[in-house]
Amino acid sequence: MGFLGKLQGAERLFTFDDVYIVPGRAPLDPSKVDVSTRFSRRVRLLIPISSSPMDTVTEYEMAVAMSLMGGIGVIHRNMPREQQAEIASRVKSAPPVPTSRIYVAPEDDCDKAYDYLRSLGLRDAPVVSQDGKLVGHVRVSSLRGCGGGRVAQVMEAPRPFEVRRLEEALSFLESGGSDTLPLVAAGSYVGTLTFDSSLDRVTPSLDSEGRLLVAAAVSPFDLERARLLDKYVDALVTDVAHFHNDEAMAAAKAMGREVSADLVVGNVGTREAAVDALTIVERVDGLRVGIAGGSICTTSSVGGAYAPALWAVAAVRDALDEHGASDIPVIADGGIRSSGDIVKALAAGASSVMLGYMLAGTDEASAPLIRIGEAAYKPYRGMASKGAMQRRFAVDRYTRASKRVAEGVEGVVPYRGSVMSVLADLVEGVKAGLGYAGASNIRELWERARFGVAVPKQVPGELFRTGQ
């Protein structure tokens, strides 16, 4: 085939905006749709969503919240390996219920502590020292009569409950004797349980020992980091922009022999990449799929390469089915901007999706909250942006050697509140989408979903999106 033939025979790379789900006969009400799935061979989720290993998205708070809501967080690797392992260990020690960082310090002024608890509408609070140890419990009534002294002067003996005694803790709190109850693990304070904690909003994804699920990103060339993380995480996710590389696949093959956690490899974007990964790596427990589709990724303009997640997922799923590897979960990564996009990705053969942009503006995202005028935002950047590469730990995501050209940008995203509310809304949208497609679960969606291409300007709301 000549060069002109290559252009004339160019394959159409479908994106989420190119297609829609054709409605089908629904077997049950959307509220009864089952969206449980697998992130990897052995890691089962209650919702088909994971958080991206980006340094403005997933650290401790996000990883805990993702698991509490039934998904999983993938801790980024743009940090020292010891810090990443410490975060993973903390997630595993976290209670499988929502907690708050509500406490006062023993050296706090009584009047200040009194005003703080009154503003929260609480009658009491734990007292936590600077080194994270639970040292006491204090009542608002005691603070009121403190006379300008310190909290340490009026605090009572602490009321610790080990995380493993969670049911007892909840029963004690429901008895009404206290508004707050501190939870501890290995002798350290891990959070405060309150009566109005959103217990009815969460159904956590747990491991076989009842602990929160967590995953972590690694370079396939960093075996020492993988070995350290393997002590804590349920899955390791190779964090390479273009995994279809001989050196990356050979390194992942060696890593798979050294670790016991599930090994998710990627990113891949084609049928050929999936087949080579299966052939060379040997132990593939999941595939992260999509290249250059992210909202802050500039690979398509810098390098001219593009494998959008929707098209890539379909190509990879077909390859897995043809090679007898249908049991390997596919994670759609990049370009997802709505619950409708999640439904399309699942319908194309994904088992779950990985989100960055949609979670970056939440309380739990690892970037700080900033204000521009009257509006609140959070910073968000690609892992190949200049800012991310300056931290150096993940500079090899785009090549084993240090790369001089950036393939990502930096910016801000609007503040969106708690990630738990964001996820709850997304899951409701996904359930509705499966209902429209006539599926009661994700596997049925694979079988029953039909795609349609809309004639331009015939889709409701299209004029508003295009600004016409």
β-bridge mates for residue 138, sequence order? 125
For the question of residue 110 being annotated catalytic, the response is no
Structural Rg of the chain based on CA atoms: 24
What tokens does 292 get?
Answer: 């250059």
One of 297, 381, 416, 448 is an active-site residue; which one? 297
Rounded CA-CA distance 412/391 in Å is: 19
Given phi > 0 = left and psi -120 to 50 = alpha, else beta, which region is 304? left
Helix axes 339-347, 419-437, angle to 10 degrees: 50
Long-range CB contacts (within 8 A, 24+) of 166-169: 166/95, 166/96, 166/97, 169/193
Cα separations (Å) of 150 from 127, 141, 225, 337, 396?
12, 14, 44, 50, 51
Q: Is residue 35 a contact partner of residue 442, using CB atoms and an 8 Å limit?
A: yes
Residue with tokens 């009584």: 110
| 3-state SS, residue 446 | helix
| 3-state SS, residue 444 | helix
One of 38, 81, 225, 397 is an active-site residue; which one? 397
Residue with tokens 């690694």: 218
Length of the chain: 468
Contacting residues for 301 by C-beta, under 8 A, at least 6 apart: none
Looking at the annotation, which residues are catalytic? 297, 397
